[in-house]
Amino acid sequence: MTQPDDAAWIAATGAPRRESNAAAETRTVEPRPAEPRPVDQDGEAVDHGGPAVEGAQGADNAGAGTSSYPSYADETAPEMGPTGRPLRPVAEPEVLSAHGPARVIAMCNQKGGVGKTTSTINLGAALAEYGRRVLLVDLDPQGALSAGLGVPAHELDRTIYNLMLEPSTAVTDVLVPTRLEGVDLLPANIDLSAAEVQLINEVGREQTLARALRPLLPLYDYVLIDCQPSLGLLTVNALACSHEVLMPLAAEFFSLRGVALLVDTVDKVQSRINPDLKIGGVLVTMFDGRTVHARDVVAMLVERFGELVFDTVISRTVKFPETTVAGEPITTYAPASSAAEAYRALAREVIAR
């Protein structure tokens, strides 16, 4: 297979600027020098931005007068976001009176450790806060999504593996309610690692997950599939049954490598298996707005993906590893944190798209 060329678009958008010395890497780039930088509960700089929604200001900043971004009412100039663009206003989500059919979103990037699982958990939890019914699908044999929701998947007899490979498995035997109201889980454990090999001999092997999920789609508003860091058959199964791909990308230069291959894979699945599939959004994660490097990477992504880049970016904070240990999303672990508010802002953008 010919590898799509990352270098071409990276070169076209320009490589990150060279820092004049090591100290410059942590140099603070103040978006508004006259105002104090907000910090979260850990004293870390907070720069997630997010679309402006009247009355939906970050809880960290609420009433404290420390917001780095004044409301539209205060200024005539458009409010700038961390992506370097004016924030696009996003409407407050409507209250739903009925549910389904689900919009299926694959959280996908073959690069490891970019925030796929963290974003699946927290976007799901934030969508549920807006009254959406959410099904989270763990499609990674590591079972990180299940663990992150406090579900001991390694002890379970029936998981997504059984649902996909044993047609006699009832979905009710696998579906697990989570501690979050409105959020259910199809868990995974190491059993799923056998699926990649076993699926090769299945008829309609790319559509196995689609068949398993079909009866559940009318019951939910969103299905979020947490993919493993590979573009193998399990990920192709996720793409084959999704309406869109949400691509989490860490704000680091090395994250850009491999993006062309991911886009190429989405294009192939779209043309050969699932004509409805599209890239629904690019989410910048682990963003540190104090570094020129992170800002340059975001600028390159905006250059490459334009409107698809969410205005909300997820800042780097030590709270996320803590939530994994706690087995709950940041929206309940630290509900007033800027990180929780960032995922709420992302949920509003997803609902509005």
How many CB atoms within 10 Å of residue 172? 7
Should residue 144 be labelled a site residue for Mg ion when binding is judged by CB under 5 A? yes
Task: Give min distance, CB of 23 to ligand ATP, in A.
Answer: 23
What are the structure tokens assigned to 142, written together? 């590591």
Nearer to ligand ATP, 101 or 112 (CB): 112
Query: Residue 247's beta-bridge partner residues?
Result: 282
Applying CB under 6 A, the site for ligand ATP has a residue count of 18
Cβ-based neighbours of 327, under 8 Å, separated by 6 or more: 147, 148, 149, 150, 151
What residue type is assigned to position 43 of the chain? G
Task: Give min distance, CB of 99 to Mg ion, in A.
Answer: 27
How many CB atoms within 10 Å of residue 64? 11
Burial 336-348 (b: 16+ CB within 10 A, else e): ebbbbbbbbbbbb
Task: Give min distance, CB of 318 to Mg ion, in A.
Answer: 18
* Residue 239 interacts with which of ligand ATP, Mg ion, none, CB < 5 to 8 Å by class: none
Query: Nearest-CA neighbor of 49 among 78, 74, 8?
Result: 78
Q: Return the residues of window 190-249 that contact ligand ATP according to CB under 6 A.
A: 229
The only residue of 114, 188, 224, 234 in contact with ligand ATP, by rule CB under 6 A: 114
Cβ-based neighbours of 306, under 8 Å, separated by 6 or more: none
What are the structure tokens assigned to 76, written together? 């005539």
What are the structure tokens assigned to 137, written together? 């699908």
Q: Which residue is nearest to Mg ion (CB)?
A: 117
* Residue 334 interacts with which of ligand ATP, Mg ion, none, CB < 5 to 8 Å by class: none
Should residue 117 be labelled a site residue for Mg ion when binding is judged by CB under 5 A? yes
Should residue 316 be labelled a site residue for Mg ion when binding is judged by CB under 5 A? no
* Residue 31 interacts with which of Mg ion, ligand ATP, none, CB < 5 to 8 Å by class: none
Task: Give min distance, CB of 117 to ligand ATP, in A.
Answer: 3
**Helix (H) and strand (E) counts in the chain:** 13, 7
The DSSP call for residue 139 is E
Residue with tokens 């709950």: 328
Sort residue 235 into left (φ over 0), alpha (ψ -120 to 50) or beta.
alpha
Residue span 138-167 as binding mask against ligand ATP, x where in contact by CB under 6 A, dash where not = --x---x-----------------------
- Phi/psi for 267 (5° steps) reads -60, -40
* Residue 69 interacts with which of ligand ATP, Mg ion, none, CB < 5 to 8 Å by class: none
Residue span 281-320 as binding mask against ligand ATP, x where in contact by CB under 6 A, dash where not = ----xx---------------------------x-xx--x
Should residue 255 be labelled a site residue for Mg ion when binding is judged by CB under 5 A? no
Should residue 103 be labelled a site residue for Mg ion when binding is judged by CB under 5 A? no
Please answer whether residues 153 and 178 qualify as being in contact, where contact means their C-beta atoms are separated by less than 8 angstroms. no
Should residue 321 be labelled a site residue for ligand ATP when binding is judged by CB under 6 A? yes
3-state DSSP call for residue 352? helix
Nearer to ligand ATP, 40 or 244 (CB): 40
Please answer whether residues 250 and 285 qualify as being in contact, where contact means their C-beta atoms are separated by less than 8 angstroms. yes
Task: Give min distance, CB of 142 to Mg ion, in A.
Answer: 7
The only residue of 176, 324, 326, 332 in contact with ligand ATP, by rule CB under 6 A: 324
Question: What residues make contact with Mg ion under the rule CB under 5 A?
Answer: 116-117, 144
Question: What residues make contact with ligand ATP under the rule CB under 6 A?
Answer: 112-118, 140, 144, 229, 285-286, 314, 316-317, 320-321, 324
